């Protein structure tokens, strides 16, 4: 029976690939109704590089969060993803369904590529279909497909898969040619501008060669590996030229016992999520001691050791296991991660290896021991696929709104400081429960101080929010104290300066308010609200020309900010420049 199925899948492999993509559409169609959540708000909705058609070049000239001013000078250089946001916005505006449709199409292309790779890699039609089906239905991918901010992850994975497919085609030749590897490296190259995980791709190729008997000399293989390493080196040089450094720290210089133990713990958490994909949440805390006490990290290390020892006995199985580990390497150094330290999207590309490994074990490895009895494994595959499909359908609604995301995150990750801080926002701004919000913010501060790694943004935002609440309740000295704490903690942040400026503006102290709004503008040059208020301060202080400059800068950053146009026209009139004021008003009519 299985032999007949092998023949059918081989004959109708194109139909099988379309069937796999149809399965993805059936179970992931719910993402099309998801809205913008969490990082989508600043990265897409409020990002002037995305909203303003004239600022697209700035996407390539700074880190991913550089639109946020000095506070956004992190180590994530992902212009491919942000430029994709810009393109979708040009075509469909800020309609969330368009972004999710774009993601779903990329996911379908990735499924097609995984199936093609698995057919060539596993030497079994059934194993290839089973492994790709498992990858298609793995619940860990919900975050990558349902969250618009994860577009860089799926783009990075897609170009890595393209590069690996053409790498396999190059290796299929009796005598591989350098030009074939140059083509494969060129297809992989865009992945480096999608997400930093792509830097592990050249190591993945080395793992493939170590697991497969040499058809060429190692010297010739080194020559064929050079285009991939050169692509990574070019991207590294671009990063240094754009950001002034490759990253905030050095992997070698920062390596110590704590980093190594954390890497083991993180590896175990990724393995646990793969084999037990429940309670999936964007807000996940990491307890190193608890992780090391569990069996997961040690099982992962044992599996890797077995894969390495058996690479000559079963090179295919060894390689797909090493695929998972090697492609996860960039996610195991916590110094170079943001929050949380373990995210579902990290497993999007690495999980290809383990899914193909399960398919291989089921239909190739089992044949060596169980022969025809392996047909009994098919119901097992169906059960796992069905359970994962149910988990996909259950997980997608959590990404439909911020309220749903935070409510679910609070339920499954109550010890995550960031979800507590966001819950405080809901209590403050939606429910008007200032007391409850204050308790949640204090809890967030406590959890953050006790966590494996403190998140400065949580402390900063908590101080600002506590300051806002105290001022709303009339406790001025307490509120100002919290805001000044935030300024001392994070001088490059703009929120505390804006709150302080608003406090003095409301009290008619325009000079002092202007000083704080100037700091806010310095912290976030493209911040339109702070510029508008600063311009208003200058108008109140009798400096219309300076006011016009701020209003002009605000509308340049956000072309649809019509209040800024009108305010600039009034400031120009106050400065005696009626002709320029009329020109600005004409722009309002044109828009």
pLDDT digits (tens, 9 = 90+) for 303-347: 999 988 888 888 999 999 999 999 999 999 988 888 889 999 999
pLDDT digits (tens, 9 = 90+) for 193-246: 999 999 999 999 999 999 987 666 788 889 999 999 999 999 999 999 998 888
Query: Residue 226 has what pLDDT?
Result: 96
Q: Does position 72 have pLDDT exceeding 70, yes or no? A: no
Query: 319 to each of 115, 164, 198, 309, 327, how far by Cα in Å?
Result: 17, 13, 18, 11, 12
Distance CA 322, CA 299 (A): 14
Distance CA 296, CA 298 (A): 6
Is 50:99 a contact under the CB 8 Å cutoff?
no
Q: Which of 127, 170, 171, 146 is nearest to 377 (CA)?
A: 127
Quickly count: other Cβ atoms within 10 Å of residue 508's Cβ.
Answer: 9
> Domains in the chain, ordered, with CATH?
2-399 (no CATH), 415-493 (1.25.40.10), 520-591 (1.25.40.10)
pLDDT digits (tens, 9 = 90+) for 456-488: 899 999 999 999 999 999 999 999 999 999 999
Q: Which of 531, 522, 520 is nearest to 558 (CA)?
A: 531
Mean of pLDDT values over 544-548: 94
Query: Residue 3 has what pLDDT?
Result: 66
Q: At 363, is the pLDDT very low, low, confident or very high (cuts 50, 70, 90)?
A: confident
Mean of pLDDT values over 290-301: 95
Q: At 373, is the pLDDT very low, low, confident or very high (cuts 50, 70, 90)?
A: very low
């Amino acid at each position: 029976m299985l032999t007949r199925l092998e023949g059918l899948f081989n004959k109708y492999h194109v139909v099988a690939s379309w069937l796999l993509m149809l399965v993805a559409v059936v179970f992931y169609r719910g993402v099309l109704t998801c809205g913008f959540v969490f990082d989508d708000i600043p990265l897409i909705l409020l990002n002037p590089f995305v909203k303003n058609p004239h600022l697209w070049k700035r996407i390539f000239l700074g880190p991913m969060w550089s639109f946020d001013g000095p506070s956004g000078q992190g180590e994530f250089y992902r212009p491919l993803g942000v430029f994709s946001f810009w393109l979708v916005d040009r075509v469909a505006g800020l309609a969330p369904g368009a972004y999710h449709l774009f993601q779903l199409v990329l996911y379908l292309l990735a499924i097609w590529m995984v199936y093609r790779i698995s057919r060539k890699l596993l030497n079994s039609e059934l194993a290839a279909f089973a492994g790709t089906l498992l990858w298609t239905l793995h619940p860990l991918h919900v975050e990558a497909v349902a969250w618009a901010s994860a577009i860089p992850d799926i783009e990075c994975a897609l170009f890595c898969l393209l590069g690996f497919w053409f790498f396999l085609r190059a290796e299929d030749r009796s005598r591989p040619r350098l030009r074939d590897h140059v083509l494969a490296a060129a297809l992989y190259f865009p992945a480096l501008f999608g997400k930093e995980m792509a830097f592990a791709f050249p190591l993945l190729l080395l793992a493939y060669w170590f697991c497969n008997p040499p058809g060429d000399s190692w010297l010739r293989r080194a020559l064929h590996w050079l285009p991939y390493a050169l692509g990574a080196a070019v991207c590294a040089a671009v990063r240094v030229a754009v950001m002034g450094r490759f990253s905030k720290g050095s992997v070698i210089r920062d390596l110590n016992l704590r980093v190594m133990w954390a890497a083991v713990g993180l590896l175990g958490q990724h393995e646990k999520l793969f084999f037990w994909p429940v309670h999936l949440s964007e807000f996940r805390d990491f307890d190193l001691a608890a992780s090391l006490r569990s069996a997961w990290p040690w099982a992962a290390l044992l599996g890797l050791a077995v894969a390495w020892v058996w690479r000559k006995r079963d090179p295919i199985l060894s390689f797909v296991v090493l695929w998972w580990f090697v492609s996860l390497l960039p996610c195991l150094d916590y110094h170079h991660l943001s929050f949380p330290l373990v995210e579902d999207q990290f497993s999007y590309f690495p999980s290809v290896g383990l899914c193909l490994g399960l398919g291989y074990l089921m239909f190739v490895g089992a044949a060596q021991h169980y022969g025809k009895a392996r047909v009994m494994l098919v119901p097992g595959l169906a059960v796992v696929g069905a359970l994962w499909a149910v988990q996909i359908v259950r997980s997608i609604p959590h990404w439909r709104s911020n309220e749903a995301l935070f409510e679910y995150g609070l339920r499954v990750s109550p010890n995550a400081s960031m979800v507590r801080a966001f819950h405080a926002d809901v209590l403050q701004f939606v429910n008007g429960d200032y007391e409850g919000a204050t308790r949640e913010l204090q809890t967030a501060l406590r959890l953050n101080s006790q966590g494996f790694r403190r998140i400065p943004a949580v402390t900063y935002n908590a101080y600002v929010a506590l300051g806002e609440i105290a001022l709303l309740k009339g406790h001025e000295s307490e509120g100002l104290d919290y805001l000044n704490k935030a300024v001392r903690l994070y001088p490059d942040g703009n929120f505390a300066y804006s709150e302080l400026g608003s406090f003095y503006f409301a009290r008619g102290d325009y000079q002092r308010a202007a000083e704080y709004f100037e700091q806010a503008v310095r912290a976030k040059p493209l911040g339109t609200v702070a510029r508008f208020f600063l311009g208003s301060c200058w108008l109140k202080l009798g400096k219309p020309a300076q006011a016009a400059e701020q209003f002009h800068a605000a509308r340049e950053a956000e072309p649809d900010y019509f209040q800024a146009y009108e305010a600039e026209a009034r400031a120009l009139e106050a400065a005696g420049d009626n002709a320029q004021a009329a020109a600005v008003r004409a722009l309002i009519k044109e828009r």
